[in-house]
Each structure stands twice: as C-alpha cells, then as structure tokens.
Structure 1
C-alpha cells in the first residue's frame, strides 16, 4: 500500500520548501534570477512566482531534482568555505582549470551541475 504524507492546511509543500532553499542558495552564491532559471530549468516567470511564494517546484520534476542538486552544491561549498559567503561567491565566479570554466557557467547544464557537485564532493572528502 502506498501512503502519502499528509500536509496540514497552511503547511508548505515539499516543492515550496525546496524552492525557497534553492533560491536562498542561489542568492548566497550570487547567482542572478536568470542564472537560477537556467540551472533549474524553470522559466523566468516561474522563478518570479517562486520568489513571491505563489508557486513551488513540482515534486518529481526535473526542476525539482536540479534544485535539490543546487542546494547540495551550496551545502558542500558552504562546508568547504566554513560558511564564508564572500569566498563561496568568489569561487563560483572564478575560472576553474579542473572544471574548464567558471562553476557558475558549468552549472547551467545538467552535466555541468553534476560535475561541479562531484568536484566539490571530492574536495570535501579530503577534510
């Protein structure tokens, strides 16, 4: 038997929670709304609705998975930088020889987002 979590009236959905977390991660990384849209596959009007709290990201969608990866990227980078937002912003926008571009450019494709997460995971494992 399949059971679904019951969401009480007034409780945010998982898509709303993830959307808010992904927006905060993007903001702390210094990504623009346009960059956020490219990373997550959302339309720019969709990002605007997400910012206003008028919508969430549909659970199980490609955008939901990409937003979760962006949050994962942020959490890894935050752990590596010790929570220093300025260092994280500098890293995401600086050319990276290993990645072959700036991380901000790389994460606009699915493979690039996966590559950047894997790179950060490998750096984090050394700690």
Structure 2
C-alpha cells in the first residue's frame, strides 16, 4: 500500500501543477485539510480515494483532448462551459460534479478508460 500511495501522491502532485490547481482547489475537489492530509487520508477515506482516482482519470482525458497543452487544459477548467452550464473547476468541487466533468470529457473523446 505504501508504494501505491507514493504513486498516487506523485500523480496528484503532477496533475495539480499541470492543471494549475491550488491546494485549496484540491481540498475542495478531494477533501481534507491540506494536500498532505488528503494524501495521508486516502487509505482510510474511500471517498477521497475515489475522487483522487477520478481526478487522475479526468487529467488523462483532458490531456488527450487538448493534445498535451497544459495552458489549454488549465484554461478549459476555469472557463464557462455551455454544455456543463458551469466552469468545470467549480463543478468539480461539488458532490457529483467531478464525475459529471469526467463523464463529459470521456464523451468528447474517442476512447474509454
């Protein structure tokens, strides 16, 4: 489990930087008091683990759609989306919003994870 936590921690740290997500954004999306607390609680908090894995999936989906352009990905998250009727980043911070954004991205691509 320690190795799994290390891999998830690295993925979370990298995607947060790539998507220009603050610690406050991560707390709101995943849960926890700060980034370290979020990571430490993954083993004991099923909801936090589920949200973290879904956020990683969302990252892969968005990366593929924007062709690896980090600026475009960060901009998309912070811009109003007509189909979602919200800014994706704000929607991701709501109870079912993270799944809704991931589902939307999956529907936009020609692939499935």
Cα RMSD over matched residues? 2.1
Structure 1, unpaired ranges of 5+ = 1-6
Q: 1:21–1:94: structure 2 CA closer, same or farther, 3 Å change rule?
A: same
Uncovered stretches (5+) of structure 2, i.e. residues with no partner: none
The Cα of 1:59 is off from its aligned counterpart by 6.1
Alignment CA distance shift 1:59-1:68 (3 Å): farther
Partner of 1:124: 109
Higher helix share goes to which structure?
2
Q: Is the 8 A contact 2:80 2:88 kept in 1?
A: yes
- Alignment match of 1:74 (pick from 31, 35, 59): 59
- Partner of 2:89 in structure 1? 104
Counterpart selection for 2:69 from 67, 84, 94:
84
Contact 2:38 2:48 in 1 (8 A): no
Runs of 4+ more than 6 Å apart: none
Instruction: Determine the C-alpha separation between the residues in 2 that align with 1:16 and 1:40.
Output: 17
The TM-score normalised by the length of structure 2 is 0.86
Tell me which structure has the larger Cα radius of gyration.
1
Q: Give the deviation of 1:15 after TM superposition.
A: 2.2
Q: How many residues align?
A: 111
Cα 1:59/1:19, change in 2 over 3 Å: farther
Shift, 1:26, TM fit: 1.8
**TM-score, length of structure 1 as denominator length:** 0.77
